[in-house]
Amino acid sequence: MSITGQVGHVAFAVQSAFGTPNTTAGNYKPVKITGDSLVSANNMLVAEGEIGTGRDVTQAVPGGYSAAGAINGNLNARNAAVCLNGALGTITANVATGSVSSFDAFTPADSLPVFTVEKKVGTTGNQLLVTRYTDAMVNTLNISANAGALSTYSAGIVACGESNPGSALVSEPIAYPAAGDDLLVFHGGRIGLKDSTNADTVTYSYPTDADPTFQTLELAINNNVQADEYTIRPSRFLRSLTEGIRQIEINCTIVFDDYHKYQKFTYGSSAATSPGYSLYMGALNFTLANWQLVDADALTKLSPTGAPTLPQGVDFNIPKLAFSGLPVALTSGRIAVSTTARALKPATGNIMSGVVRPSGAGF
């Protein structure tokens, strides 16, 4: 009898310190996934062929050990909150005040949180496998929205250790919170684009700043975590993980409908008529919600128009993006252009920020 992939869970808990696994069941936040490639690498050092032993290798000794891979799934508030906390580093809970609902805010930090990740496969009995990854970091996070499809996420994880505790800390069945479990799809979304102010205090005015030309948008965060700190003694396990340079980019497909956008993205401004030595710097706001967000409302509005009983969503603000250009090529039908943009740190404030509604969907 084989094991089905639909039974089990993946759950995250923040560690108090590197090297100290989190063993408190109530601290774990399970996330829904559609796929998982988080696996260990039990590397071997194969001995060199030695004269006098023949052509066949006779020895092998253990090499460095680590675990890495990704979890993939459809995007909801819970998944977004857990992964954003890991990818950016800072989470701040905001309570409801006046006309604003409760929400969690996420901003970049130089030091990333360290997780214990529990993965359970199968059911009780001989089909059950429980693995616990310790000293884990979220190295990459990709959040994608495609017109006509579910929004998805993929979080790349690296971990220093793995153990088999025999039984899971997280109880079954998992109680996914109704307040953070709705799927977030393209028709509940909105993209705002305007010139950068070189500060993270960007105010978007809708519908003026709304951009309806985006067909797809992917937010890609890469922390470039170094997972190579093996030392001579005391063990073959990673001594630590080290955050590298943080890179944030967007990859998008835009319906070409205005030559001014071509001038801005390719020449540096809508007034330019040929390439120069400036890049267009744009501020971008990207929102996904479980209702159709109207122009007059923000994600965190206390009582948004047309919202369900439990409004949920994610919102990203990137205040300074350098666009690589708009490579327009003729086709026989509608011209859809794929391009990229790189986030830069503004003169004041954060390179990006995120908001998840409701507060408490993550940690």
What is the average per-residue pLDDT within 213-219? 95
Q: Whole-number mean pLDDT of the chain?
A: 92
**Can you say how many angstroms the Cα of residue 127 is from the centroid of all Cα atoms in its chain?**
31
Output the pLDDT for position 4: 74
What pLDDT score does 199 carry? 95
Would you say residue 217 has pLDDT above 80?
A: yes
* Residue-level pLDDT at 127: 77
- Distance CA(341)–CA(323), nearest Å, equals 4
Q: How many CB atoms sit inside 10 A of residue 344's CB?
A: 17
pLDDT band at 360 (very low <50, low <70, confident <90, very high): confident
In one letter, which amino acid is 336?
Answer: A
**Verdict on whether the full-model pTM lies above 0.85:** yes
Q: Using 50, 70 and 90 to split pLDDT, how confident is the model at 292? A: very high
User: Is 175's pLDDT higher than 70?
Assistant: no
Model confidence band, residue 46 (pLDDT cutoffs 50, 70, 90):
confident
Give the residue among 224, 82, 201 at the shortest CA–CA distance from 143: 82
Give 16-33 pLDDT, tens digit per residue.
999 999 999 999 999 999
pLDDT value, residue 315: 96
Residue 261 CA to residue 258 CA, distance in Å, equals 6
First to last CA, the chain: 37
When pLDDT is averaged across residues 69-76 and rounded to a whole number, the result is: 95
Q: Reply yes or no: is the peptide bond before residue 165 cis, omega within 30 of 0.
A: no
pLDDT bucket at 83, cuts 50 / 70 / 90: very high
Mean pLDDT of 75-80: 94
Q: How does pLDDT run across 231-268, given as a tens digit for each residue?
A: 888 888 888 999 999 999 999 999 998 899 999 999 99
Cα angle 131, 137, 143 (rounded to 5 degrees) comes to: 100
Confidence of residue 310 (pLDDT cuts 50, 70, 90): very high
Sequence-separated (6 or more) residues with CB below 8 Å from residue 192: 204, 206, 209, 210, 211, 284, 285, 286
Domain locations along the chain: 8-357
Q: Which residue has the tokens 């990137």?
A: 318
**CB-CB neighbours of 6 under 10 Å:** 5
Nearest C-alpha neighbor of 13 from the set 2, 5, 4, 21: 21
For tokens 């496969």, name the residue. 121
State residue 362's pLDDT score.
80
The full DSSP string for 88-153 is HEEEEEE--BTTB--EEEEEE-SS---EEEEEEES-SSTT-EEEEEEEEEEEEEEEEEETTSB-EE
The number of C-alpha atoms within 13 Å of 323 and in the hemisphere containing its C-beta is 27
Report pLDDT digits (tens) over 162-174. Answer: 999 988 898 866 6
Q: What is the reported pLDDT for 41?
A: 85
Residue with tokens 């109680």: 175
The better pLDDT of the pair 340, 59 is held by 340
Residues of the chain with pLDDT > 70: what percent?
Answer: 99
Angle at the Cα of 356 from the Cα atoms of 355 and 360, rounded to 5 degrees: 130
